Amino acid sequence: SRGSRTPRTMAAMAETPPTMTRTRPNILITGTPGAGKTNTSSMVAERTGLRHVECSELVKSEGCHEGWDEEFQSYTLDEDKLCDVLEPMMAEGGIVVDFHSCDFFPERWFDLVLVLTCDNTALYDRLVERGYAAKKVEENVQCEIMQVVLQEAKESYAEEVVHQVTSDTIDDMESNVNRVAQWMEQWVADNGES
């Protein structure tokens, strides 16, 4: 459990645990809907050669849900089924996972958790532009104000793995992609194939 783990430094986190056989890292990019996860994840995958897995698409294509929720205009997630679908990919490594929730994924899957945060006005505008219902827009903006996703990440993963970044502009996004690419170069140097 998280509470019994000895804190580790970034250098120690970059080293491969003895039981891990992955030669490429797994990255989780998370944040409130509209924060820029899919665009950032696509850019990270393109820049690093990692495979982008958009969980919202897997939920639909692999039936990782318990049906449609009319009130929220979304599928009710079956977390266990989604994890079962992702497990073989995550064991192989080299995956960028893109999802708005993060507290149910196994901690061992991710070497980096990037939490995108966004200005509330920009987020509101993005969600309205997507055609979200007023209730869904309000709920998501409230989640961003309360930093729900960031708190979930901090409670679910080791402190040194979780990094909060701003995702208000294209410049922010490009800066975040550059940071992830630099991090990955170091991870591969420390853990990749010899």
Name every residue whose Cβ is closer than 8 Å to that of residue 114 and which is 6 or more positions away in sequence: 27, 28, 29, 30, 40, 163, 165, 176, 180
- Which stretches of the chain are assigned E, i.e. beta strand? 27-31, 51-54, 65-69, 74-77, 95-99, 112-117, 162-166
Report the candidate in 19, 38, 17, 6 with the shortest Cα–Cα distance to residue 177: 38
Task: For the chain, give the mean pLDDT.
Answer: 89
21: exposed, middle or buried (Cβ count in 10 Å: 0-12, 13-18, 19+):
exposed
Helix, strand counts (H, E) of the chain: 8, 7
Q: Are 177 and 43 in contact (CB under 8 A)?
A: yes
Q: Partners of 48 in the beta sheet?
A: none
How far is 186 from 193, CA to CA, in rounded Å? 13
Q: What averages of pLDDT result for each successive group of 10 residues across the chain (194 residues)?
A: 35 42 94 97 98 97 95 91 97 97 97 97 96 92 97 97 97 98 95 69
| Per-residue pLDDT at 73 | 83
| Per-residue pLDDT at 20 | 56
